[in-house]
Chains A and B, each alone.
Chain A
Amino acid sequence: AQSVTQPDIHITVSEGASLELRCNYSYGATPYLFWYVQSPGQGLQLLLKYFSGDTLVQGIKGFEAEFKRSQSSFNLRKPSVHWSDAAEYFCAVGAREYGNKLVFGAGTILRVKS
């Protein structure tokens, strides 16, 4: 069955430190890849997406993500975290062979300490 794995349930980083959130998926072909962010009590906001082309994609709020086909990964990164980045982050994957639906990871909660 299709799956999207975010291995870290919680991550705590210091303000100003770098961040990497991991995402792995179990699809054969190149899927469509997304990262969403959810602030407390809010809906999901699209941070960035990968469909094809350059495997390093830039998003909003200073985030970037890199698609690595050999590792079936799409990790999210930010060079310097701000306190306002504290939120829950979801990786999502879409693929035609899985019914054209988005499949979401369980989420990673980011805490930022000052």
Chain B
Amino acid sequence: DVKVTQSSRYLVKRTGEKVFLECVQDMDHENMFWYRQDPGLGLRLIYFSYDVKMKEKGDIPEGYSVSREKKERFSLILESASTNQTSMYLCASSSPAGFFYEQYFGPGTRLTVT
């Protein structure tokens, strides 16, 4: 079974803090994704990566950046957290490279920015 893990289930940060959300997958998947989930809006893609050190913007990249230094790890960075970034963040992975459809998700990180 594919396992995608996220470093924290719940996180509380203050406005202006730099926030790191970590995601690790153990199935050697090439593609990794970060989404945010808000009630009534479904999932919206923030960034994705199809290879180490490669990244592509999704639909809502503003205020976020990502890092992929190793194949199994994909980090989401909030450079200066704001209250409108309070949300559930979901990481996902898929394979093979460039096949983005059948994605496997982690348990999510619920981030609250106060």
Contacts and interface: CB of A to CB of B under 8 A. Distances in A.
B64 interface: no
Interface string A103-114: 011110000000
B42 A107 contact: yes
Contacts of B108: 41-43
A49 B101 CA distance: 10
Contact of A102 (B4, B40, B101): B101
Nearest to B102: A49
Interface of A: 4, 9, 32, 34, 36, 41-46, 49, 90, 94, 100-102, 104-107
Interface residues of chain A: helix, strand, loop or mixed (majority): strand
Interface of B: 4, 9, 40-45, 48, 58, 90, 92, 98-108, 110
28 contacts: A34-B101, A36-B105, A41-B110, A43-B4, A43-B90, A43-B108, A44-B43, A44-B90, A44-B92, A44-B105, A46-B102, A46-B103, A46-B104, A49-B101, A100-B98, A100-B99, A100-B101, A101-B45, A101-B58, A101-B100, A102-B45, A102-B101, A102-B103, A104-B42, A104-B43, A106-B41, A106-B42, A107-B42
